[in-house]
Amino acid sequence: MKKFITLMLTCVVSVSCSLCCFASTEAQVDQVPDYYTEEYQQEVKAVAAKAEAYLENKLRLRTGAKKYLSVPLYKQTKNYYCGVASAQMVLKFLGASGDVSQATLAADDYFETDKDGFTYVYKLVNGLNNRLGSKKYMSITINDLAFATGLIYSIDAGYPVVCHVDTRKLPAYSGYSCGHYVVATGYNYGSVPSSQSNVRYNDPNNNSEYYGRFDVDFGVMESAIDTREDYYIMKKR
């Protein structure tokens, strides 16, 4: 089913960075320590099945679609705050209560960005869910659910997607490589007049050369995620 959906989408759509990055450089298992536990894998399979069924039905009903969420764009205030800057965008968009400034999130016992000097994927998920008051988000790998599928499923439900990327795969970085977080805010595939496929994302980079809103092909973003540790953060069931 996963290969079918990826194929369908493919057919339908065919200066230094030292100021910016500091997502964690740890191995995949450290990013989400419980990912391969039986309990978590059951959740992964359930979410993947639901998202794949949703997209299969969507593709059956129409040849193209697009949706963009009005997620605010914030520049990270420190060179290792891309994770909490991304969280700030998501939390502001979803109407989270309380102080969601980057400094507050970075010092939070869930994010622990100041303590670690970067933000682990699982801590970013924990921090988002704690601030939102329920388990609305989860991390998943592109091996378990194609990025385009998870993105469309989440965006259609009104939830931005946080992507853990290697910047050298994003055109704006001209080959410079560092770990980074960006927020996917929308998509377009096969819609007239462009008939292109792309994902729109907010980049919180504190270097104005890279900061802003960008559109890239689905495959480009998936490659950026894959080249890092495969994880993106999407809506849970």
pLDDT number for residue 150: 98
How many CB atoms are located within 10 Å of the residue 51 CB? 26
Per-residue pLDDT of the chain in tens (237 residues, 90 and over written 9): 554 344 445 444 333 344 566 676 556 668 999 999 999 999 999 999 999 999 999 988 777 899 999 999 999 999 999 999 999 999 999 999 999 999 999 999 999 999 999 999 999 999 999 999 888 999 999 999 999 999 999 999 999 999 999 999 999 999 999 999 999 999 998 765 555 789 999 999 999 999 999 999 999 999 999 999 999 999 997
CB 43 within 8 A of CB 137: no
The pLDDT value given to residue 190: 78
Q: What is the pLDDT of residue 4?
A: 39
Q: Give the closest residue to 148 by CA, choosing from 89, 219, 53.
A: 219
Q: How far apart are CA 39 and CA 220, in angstroms?
A: 31
**Angstrom distances, CA of residue 56 to CA of 48, 63, 89:** 12, 11, 29
pLDDT at 191: 62
**Domains assigned to the chain:** 2-14+21-235 (3.90.70.10)
Give residues with Cβ within 8 angstroms of 28, minimum separation 6.
35, 141, 229, 230, 231
3-state secondary structure of 5: helix
**pTM value > 0.85:** yes
How do residues 14-39 score in pLDDT, each as one tens digit? 333 445 666 765 566 689 999 999 99
